[in-house]
């Protein structure tokens, strides 16, 4: 029987995954995680969009946020440990999606809406489910909607400010 996650714990998980995923994109150059290797289809394993530096940034920022919020909000110890896994699930999901995109023949950075915006949240939810924890379905739907809206807004703002070269 799956255990429901409390609202507080779920929110920390969501924020920590968002931070992990978002902070990874602050890295514009780095060593590719796939070391330039190609798969049997002749295409890159992950592509230049997934770097060691990006992964490290995402994990460090995501884990710090999870630890900070869990302490601040006094979640039970079991939940604190659970929130620390969120950045791991988020970056794993992001990498899995890049792997899938490369297999589908999509170039690095090619948009795949709305999957690009939601892959990490779906990966995070799936990761917890695999461990036997579930989010309230209503909360999951709200989270997906908010994530999508936030992602679109920040990307458009970053594009207008000239931080990103594409509005997605
Ligand atoms: N990034 C990184 N390392 C990661 C994740 C992201 O360096 N682990 C940086 C890269 O510069 C990447 C940018 O953040 O180009 C945007 O991230 P994302 O949209 O996830 O990558 P894409 O470039 O779109 O590549 P893909 O098509 O593989 O998703
Ligand atoms: Mg992208």
For residues 6-22, average pLDDT: 92
- 158 alpha carbon, closest ligand: 1
Mean residue pLDDT across the chain:
92
For residues 137-141, average pLDDT: 83
Decide: 166 and 109 in contact? Cβ < 8 Å: yes
pLDDT at 142: 87
How many CB atoms lie under 10 A from the CB of residue 62?
A: 29
Name, of 14-18, 84-88, 109-113, 114-118, the range with top average pLDDT. 84-88
> Which atom, in ligand 1's list, is nearest to the CA of 46?
28
Distances (CA, A) of 23 to 47, 89, 145: 18, 15, 20
Asked which of 4-8, 39-43, 134-138 is least confident by mean pLDDT, the reply is: 134-138
pLDDT at 56 over 80: yes
With pLDDT > 70 as the criterion, what percentage of the chain qualifies? 100
**Which of 33, 35, 49 should be mutated for ligand 1, with most atoms under 8 A from CB?**
49
For residues 83-108, average pLDDT: 96
Asked which of 56-65, 110-119, 128-137 is least confident by mean pLDDT, the reply is: 110-119
Decide: 168 and 113 in contact? Cβ < 8 Å: yes
Q: Quick one: pLDDT band at residue 138, thresholds 50, 70, 90?
A: confident
- 119 alpha carbon, closest ligand: 1
């Amino acid at each position: 029987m799956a255990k429901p996650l409390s609202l507080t714990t779920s929110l920390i998980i969501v924020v920590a995954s968002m931070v992990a995923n978002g902070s990874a994109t602050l890295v514009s150059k780095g060593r590719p995680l796939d070391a330039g290797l190609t798969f049997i289809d002749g295409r890159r394993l992950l592509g230049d969009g997934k770097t060691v530096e990006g992964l490290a940034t995402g994990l460090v920022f995501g884990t710090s946020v999870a630890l900070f919020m869990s302490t601040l909000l006094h979640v039970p110890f079991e939940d604190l440990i659970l929130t620390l896994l969120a950045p791991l699930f988020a970056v794993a999901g992001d990498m899995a999606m890049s792997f899938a995109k490369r297999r589908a023949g999509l170039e690095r950075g090619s948009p795949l809406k709305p999957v690009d915006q939601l892959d990490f949240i779906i990966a995070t939810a799936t990761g917890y489910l695999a461990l036997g924890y579930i989010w309230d379905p209503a909360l999951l739907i709200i989270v997906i909607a908010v994530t999508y809206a936030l992602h679109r807004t920040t990307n458009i703002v970053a594009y207008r400010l000239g931080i990103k070269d594409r509005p997605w």
